[in-house]
A and B are shown apart, each in its own frame.
Chain A
């Protein structure tokens, strides 16, 4: 016997539509379903009824692509820690629960439709400096440039950022600092990232501000909801690099 849930879902026909919360009942939800599968069930019913299915982003459904993401009961990706929406399972909900589902809310993430937001602003932050310039050719030997173990570990931790945007959604200031800092840390800790370290920090932070994200006040809400647990000290590292570059 599955669960019966009441969903309150944000519906918005397009970028210029005003949008509204719409209530749906979903019956017989299996605890083994993922959150997205539960929405699939709702959508199949809506299609059969001739209604418009709820649009949401998704791709790999195994927590590594960064496409899915919605604010579930006021928490980005739901209350389960270090979990993307696709990896959130219905066993964390109870029969009779009311579940509010909203898109990421930020001016630089305009709603495309329903729960789908346009995150091109993240792409532009990456384009501003989230790369290293190397001569193309065959891949170098893995051990040709030595990297300290702890630097490699910290860089890899930062590199696990999947760019889902939960940090922005959870931040009371709508800041993209954790995302930007993850990229700056990932490249700035490695020898290959050193030549452009200062210009990268400056360009990416300036692009982040230009996109209209808010400022960081170190609330830590971003790290708490991050499905990859990107640590808050990446932001301290970004600030240090940015201050050094601005001198």
Chain B
């Protein structure tokens, strides 16, 4: 959970910063998209580094889900008889208790997002359009429900990381009583920065700052 999660968080940070290119206009954004494919050129052939990143991400996602499913299965085997009384969280762990269903929502989002922005299957402009055109068409105000889904999914990502980030340090044995305060504050800050950064683009399209 911790190691694969860390890989995914690093990816999210890069992805979020890259997205902000949309505020610098279509050429900047499309040029950035092209750069992702020509990274390391001419030493590295076209799209090789990007493909390597994609493979690492797919493996990380699969292992992350596999860990989550095995933890959930072990949990249900460890408590075959449920409590009759509703258990209240004693640890104020709202974010913690969204991890499992939130993870499923994030997975559904990722599938939609890939069909929308990568393969263009559900995008009004389709696969052949330039990345920037796909972006602007995808978040057109007439498709407000898509933007709404993005907002919900990003809030889920934020909650997921709010717990996941410091939890990874705990799992790897790197946390201590003294560092909890700082770790949790850092987790909240990184989650907030990611959510705001990611949401700025669809909201930018919605209100016409990006067109």
A positions within 8 Å CB-CB of B: 8, 10, 19, 21, 71, 73-75, 79, 100, 102, 105-108, 170, 172-175, 212-221, 223-225, 231-233, 235-243
Contact = CB atoms under 8 A, between A and B. Distances in A.
A80 to B, nearest CB: 11
Contact of A220 (B96, B169, B173, B174): B96
A74 B88 CA distance: 7
Nearest to A76: B90
Contacts of B77: 107, 212, 214
B93 A214 contact: no
Contact of B79 (A100, A106, A235, A238): A106
B90 A215 contact: no
B83 A215 contact: no
A102 B83 contact: yes
Contact of B88 (A8, A75, A105, A175): A75
B85 interface: yes
Interface stretch (B21-29, B35-43, B45-53, B175-183): B175-183
Contacts of B169: 236
A102 B84 contact: yes
Given A102-B83, A220-B96, 10 more contacts: A74-B87, A105-B82, A174-B79, A214-B78, A215-B70, A218-B166, A233-B175, A233-B177, A239-B171, A239-B172
Contacts of A173: 71, 74-75, 78
Contact of A215 (B75, B176, B177): B75
B142 interface: no
A221 to B, nearest CB: 5
B170 interface: yes
B181 to A, nearest CB: 12
B176 A217 contact: no
Contacts of B80: 107
Given A102-B85, A220-B96, A239-B171, A215 B74 contact: yes
A174 B172 contact: no
B172 A220 contact: no
B16 to A, nearest CB: 25
A174 B78 contact: yes
Nearest to B72: A173
Contact of B71 (A8, A215, A231): A215
A231 to B, nearest CB: 5
